[in-house]
Amino acid sequence: MVATETADAIHKKSKLFYGWIIVIAVTLIYTIAEIPVFAFGIFVKPIAGEMGWSREVITRAFGLYMIFLGIFSILGGILVDRVGPRVLNFIGTIMIGSGLILASRADSALTFYLGYSVMGGIGFAFVFVPNQTTLARWFIAKKGLALGIMFAGGGIGTLVATPLLQSCIESSGWRTAFLIIGILILCIPVPAALFLRKDPKELGLVPLGEGEGAPGGPAGDKGAQNAGQAIQTQNFTLPEAIKSGSFWIYNVAITLMFLGFFMAQVNMVPHATDMGVTAAAAALALGIASGFNAFGRLFMGGVSDKIGTKRSFYICLGLGAIMLFYLITVSSAWMMYLFVILFGFAYGGSVPQMPRMVSELFGLKSMGAIMGVSILVTTPGPALGPVLGGAIFDRTGSYTPAFITGGIAILIAVALISVLKSPKKAD
């Protein structure tokens, strides 16, 4: 009741389209909630040093996080279609924050996995898909920009947090750093969730740009090749989407993309310090990567409104593959900084293309459920990428084979996206 009155009051007193209030709210939530994901790399060596765990054991926590994120994204996607994002964000952020606090007290790998991986992964599933789906319902025009702003928040949050967390780790240990992030997540996102509304109809509005003729046509149309893709005119149900070949081509491509990107994201700091880069410089580099990740999400989110989703994917994934091959040669701070600038931009720029592509292929009506299943199907990418990198290092003493594998995986993803076309509903 309070949330409804708050939203109605803002809508009545302001000429600003309420969708932009939604953008601000989900961006604030995402900015704080994603810090444990993007900053995880700086914790690998400190945890290993205190607990005596191998890098494979530690990166397995990240892999399990992604598995639980994938599994429960289906539930998050289904529930947001039915009950809206507000309650899901309450539950999700409480689970993430509480899980980090539990992980900060862990004296075994099992407890660490329970707090960081299980509670954190489930909690983020109730934030990640619902908030993307909500933005897609509020925007037709400027959808890429709106998604880019939200996703940019995650990069900006990590840019600010990473050097501060590194300083905290050096002075007080990784446990204190985890505890601080957990408390931060419990304190900030909950009030922001009060402003979330499922779709414009709740306020008697229509999505921004409805009836104005978004540029381009469905994926694969000639118009889309020139001006960018529009939302699929036919709304697919979840079973209809799963039966289409496009669903599986898209998800295999995203799986391979994530395998390469997350392999580098989690292992870049341990690799750089192994090669002689100081821990402080590597942590700063991770923060810079997050900053350019944010810029890439915002910039390519807007660019995709003009050049289309596929072309935006080509730019980002092509650059990302090159950067993984380049990472093998990094042996100094300046080389690391060059890597993270371009890698961060490439990784970030690819993120807002995913919900765009889903809406273009399958429409909006069941988008939450479709995205939830998609995240589950693509879970092996982000789950296995970091673990594979750590396992290869533990067995060979080098990340070179891992980064080559990751770069090739991303190039295969480019090829799959290039053949992707809008499905047709069965009569």
pLDDT (mean) for 279-294: 82
Residues 6+ apart with CB under 8 A from 379: 66, 67, 69, 70, 71, 255
pLDDT of residue 224: 39
Model pLDDT for residues 365-407, shown as the tens digit of each residue:
777 778 878 888 888 888 888 888 888 888 888 888 999 999 9
> d(Cα 276, Cα 271) in Å, to the nearest integer?
9
Q: Is the pLDDT of residue 221 over 80?
A: no
Beta-carbon contacts of residue 171 (< 8 Å; ≥ 6 apart): none
Measured distance CA(42)–CA(21) in Å, rounded: 33
Q: Mind listing the pLDDT tens digit for each residue in 79-117? A: 887 888 888 998 999 999 999 999 999 999 999 999 999
**Is the model's pLDDT at 312 over the cut of 90?**
yes
pLDDT at 404: 94
Question: How confident is the model over 141-161, as a mean pLDDT?
Answer: 79
The predicted pLDDT at position 6 comes to 52
Cβ partners under 8 Å of residue 163, min gap 6 = 283, 284, 287
Q: How many CA atoms lie within 13 A of 154 on its CB side?
A: 25
Q: pLDDT digits over 230-260, tens only? A: 555 578 888 888 888 899 999 999 999 999 9
Q: What is the pLDDT at residue 253?
A: 95
b/e for 202-227, b at 16 or more Cβ within 10 A? eeebebbeeeeebbbbbbbeeebbeb
Distance (Å, rounded) from C-alpha 131 to C-alpha 108?
Answer: 33
Tokens read off for 102: 């539990």
Q: Which pLDDT belongs to residue 216?
A: 35
Q: Please list the alpha-helical segments (H only) found in 173-227.
A: 174-187, 189-193, 222-227
What percentage of the chain exceeds 70 in pLDDT?
A: 90
Residue 257: predicted pLDDT: 96
- The CA distance from 120 to 186, in Å, is 12
In this predicted structure, the answer to whether residue 168 has a pLDDT above a threshold of 80 is yes
Enter the DSSP assignment of 85.
Answer: H
User: Average pLDDT of the chain?
Assistant: 84
At 165 the three-state DSSP class reads helix
Task: Give the tokens for residue 211.
Answer: 């009836």
Over residues 182-204, the pLDDT tens digits come to 999 988 887 888 888 888 887 88
pTM, two decimal places: 0.70
pLDDT reported for residue 376: 83
For 403-417, how does the pLDDT look when each residue is reduced to its tens digit (9 = 90+)? 999 999 999 999 999
The answer to whether the beta carbons of residues 173 and 45 sit under 8 Å apart is no
Give yes or no for residue 285 having a pLDDT over 90.
no
Mean pLDDT of 142-154: 78
Q: Is the pLDDT of residue 1 over 50?
A: no
More confident: 285 or 152: 285
Instruction: Check residue 425 and give its pLDDT.
Output: 73
Q: What is the pLDDT of residue 9?
A: 52
* C-beta separation of 262 from 405 below 8 A: no
| Entry field: residues in the chain | 427
Encoded amino acid at 300, one letter: M
Q: pLDDT at position 426, please?
A: 66
Class of domain 14-199+214-418: mainly alpha
* Confidence (pLDDT) at 219: 40
Give the phi and the psi of residue 80 in degrees, each rounded to 5: -70, -30
Q: Let me know the angle formed at the C-alpha of 338 by 334 and 342, rounded to the nearest 5 degrees.
A: 165
Instruction: List, for residues 24-80, the tens digit of each pLDDT value.
Output: 999 999 888 888 887 888 898 899 889 989 888 888 898 899 889 888 988 888 888
Specify the pLDDT at position 2.
47
Kindly report each contact of residues 116-119 with a partner whose C-beta sits within 8 Å and lies 24 or more positions away, as own/partner.
Answer: 116/36, 116/61, 116/65, 116/178, 117/61, 117/62, 117/64, 117/65, 117/67, 117/68, 118/64, 118/68, 119/95
Percent of the chain with pLDDT over 90: 32
Q: Where are the domains of the chain?
A: 14-199+214-418
Residue (of 350, 333, 343) closest to 407 by Cα position:
343
Per-residue pLDDT at 227: 35
Q: Which residues pair with 32 in a beta bridge?
A: none
Quote the CA–CA distance of 162 and 135 in Å, as a whole number: 28
**How far apart, in whole angstroms, are the C-alpha atoms of residue 126 and residue 69?**
9
In the three-class reduction of DSSP (H, G, I as helix; E, B as strand; rest coil), residue 139 is classed as strand
